[in-house]
Amino acid sequence: MVKRIAAIIFIFACTTVAWAVLGSTIFYRTYETDTRLEGQVASIWGAPQSQMPPTASYQRVELLTTETTENGKKKVVTTKTHVTTPLPLDSSRVDVALALEYRQKGLLWYSLYNVTFGGTYVFRNPTSEAQDVTFTLTYPAAQANYDDLTLTLDGQPISPKNEKNFATALARVEAGKSATLRVAYNSRGLSTWTYSFGGEVAQVRDFQLKMKTNFKDIDFPANSMSPSEKRETPDGWELAWNYKNLVTGYNIGMVMPEKLQPGPLAGRISYFAPVSLFFFFFLMFIITTLRGIELHPMNYFFLAAAFFAFHLLLAYLVDHISIHAAFAICSVVSIFLVVSYLRLVVGIRFAAVGAGLAQFIYLVLFSYAFFFKGFTGLAVTIGSILTLFVVMQMTGKIRWAEKFANKTV
């Protein structure tokens, strides 16, 4: 009996090492190519976007006076310096609509989105003179397309000049007057969309941003503000940020919800597999001991191989079909291997009812718990406690000294 248990432990240890290698391979395949694949997705669809409000500024001339000494005599030199002075932004009205889409590359799903952006900004010329004002719109991402880009000033279309990652337009604003700049475009991005106030502590006056989503699972990035108002719609949310006079160093943003990731999920299930096999071996050992069924360590070896086949097939099947379909196929294959093998060893009744049911619980259901984020540990704990209770009730009257003694005769 002791040698038999030692052999089973050795088989379990070897299978655990194999699962560790498989899990590491899956994570390597997943994240080693992630940077390259994400770059490919961004080059085709678009990069994460961070929109900043447009700016308006004018050039003013300042006279700079300096004193120099020449041949022992003091000399005053006056030079002209051009200083860029921003116009205050008195009002912002922003509308954003985000439409989520998914694309799979390798072992990862990428969260993509279409964005419809519209913003109305009111700038004021506080000086007593008319100024030639340069309006500048910084694009939210260099890797992106901007369709139907429209800029209007006081209702009149203006033709922007594109320079690298921003567009500029020149217009004259009379003394003490305001100018209303309207910006609109359609674009596409990846993972996150952000409205940034400049990256530093900024003052925002009379600000309103309304956002519509076509997805329910909303989340906000780090260092961002939660909405002032929100209303659920049939297909998503309507969110609003309203501020009269805000001083902040935070941004406004939205993180696109992620789909269940096949690669990381398959890797975590593989790392967890020794727990499943431990419970299965433990229950098989107890049941066979109670019923007097002889299972050789080689039988345990083939059972472990059937368990490993589940995770090996899952690791390479999720590349080609959905994770749910792959999981179902792998479950059927692994259970079929165990049941069809044990029916030859101990008969169809024990193979189907005893081993098949135990494998369904400890391999399939325990592994499926990983599909429910945040509940995996609780599910495994409950299953472990129930198993302990059942085994304790089954073996409470067994005299283990006699069982071990009988096996050593």
Q: For residues 215 and 233, state if they share a domain.
A: yes
Last residue of a domain, which of 200, 231, 255?
Answer: 255
The answer to whether residues 131 and 172 touch, using CB atoms and an 8 Å cutoff, is yes
Q: For residues 287 and 305, state if they share a domain.
A: yes
Q: For residues 222 and 171, state if they share a domain.
A: yes
Last residue of a domain, which of 255, 285, 317?
Answer: 255
Last residue of a domain, which of 255, 285, 307?
Answer: 255
Integer Rg of the chain from CA: 34
Q: For residues 242 and 114, state if they share a domain.
A: yes
Band (pLDDT 50/70/90 cuts) for residue 395 is confident
Q: Is residue 230 part of a domain?
A: yes
Q: Is residue 372 part of a domain?
A: yes
Q: Pick from 367, 338, 364, 368: which is nearest to 350 by CA?
A: 338
Q: For residues 313 and 375, state if they share a domain.
A: yes
Largest CA distance in the chain: 119
Q: For residues 274 and 378, state if they share a domain.
A: yes
**Is the pLDDT at 408 greater than 50, yes or no?**
no
Domain around 281: 2-32+260-408
**Is the pLDDT at 409 greater than 50, yes or no?**
no
- The strands making up 156-157's β-sheet, listed across from edge to edge, are 156-157, 147-153, 178-190, 108-124, 89-105, 202-213, 237-248, 229-232
User: From the centroid of its chain, how far is CA 126?
Assistant: 45
Q: For residues 269 and 228, state if they share a domain.
A: no
Q: For residues 245 and 273, state if they share a domain.
A: no
Q: Is residue 118 part of a domain?
A: yes
Q: Is residue 146 part of a domain?
A: yes
369-394 pLDDT, tens digit each:
888 877 888 888 888 898 888 888 88
Q: What is the CATH number of the domain that holds 181?
A: 2.60.40.3680
Q: For residues 150 and 249, state if they share a domain.
A: yes
Q: Which residue has the higher pLDDT, 27 or 118?
A: 118
Mean pLDDT of the chain: 87
Q: Is residue 80 part of a domain?
A: no
User: What does the alpha-carbon distance between residue 80 and residue 60 come to, in Å, rounded to a whole number?
Assistant: 10
Q: For residues 283 and 250, state if they share a domain.
A: no
